[in-house]
Amino acid sequence: MKKILFIPLTALFLFLFSTMSPGFAADEDSCKDQGITVKNLSFKEIWYMRKGSSCTILKRNYSFTIKPEEEIRLFTDMVCETPYCPACTYADYKSYDANGDCRVRILPENTLSDM
């Protein structure tokens, strides 16, 4: 009798485990290795600064990539003093990537959006 119950219970356990595994994998960061590409689609030039580097221009339709360990600040002036996005971390950009393609765009009026 125990052997008869063991086989269906084992099959049920394997079925449940196999259907639950993809759900756990969804929590993994698919952009971790390649980073998130952020593209400037606003109507103006924006400047950005990686932590510990100099102020760099981000022209319209140009992009940069941010990795999980980085922080990139966006500014509206060429001396990087007027914040556009004061402290944009990888997690901030990742939160806008709704479709999981590792791409985000900067729109007019200080808006970040999925691309």
Evaluate if residue 87 carries a pLDDT over 80: no
Residue 7 CA to its chain's centroid (Å): 44
pLDDT tens sequence across 38-54: 999 988 888 999 888 99
Query: What percent of the residues of the chain are helix, what percent strand, and what percent coil, each to the nearest 5?
Result: 25, 35, 40
For every residue of 96-108, DSSP letters joined together read H-TTSSSEEEEET
What's the first-to-final CA gap in the chain, in angstroms? 58
Secondary structure (3-state) at 5: helix
Evaluate if residue 2 carries a pLDDT over 60: no
Q: Tell me if 56 sits within 8 A of 49, measured CB to CB.
A: yes
* Domain boundaries of the chain, sorted by first residue: 36-114
pTM: 0.69
Strands 36-40 and 103-107: parallel
pLDDT averaged over every residue in the chain? 79
pLDDT tens sequence across 58-86: 999 999 999 998 888 888 889 989 888 76
d(CA 70, CA 37): 13
Strands 71-75 and 83-89: antiparallel
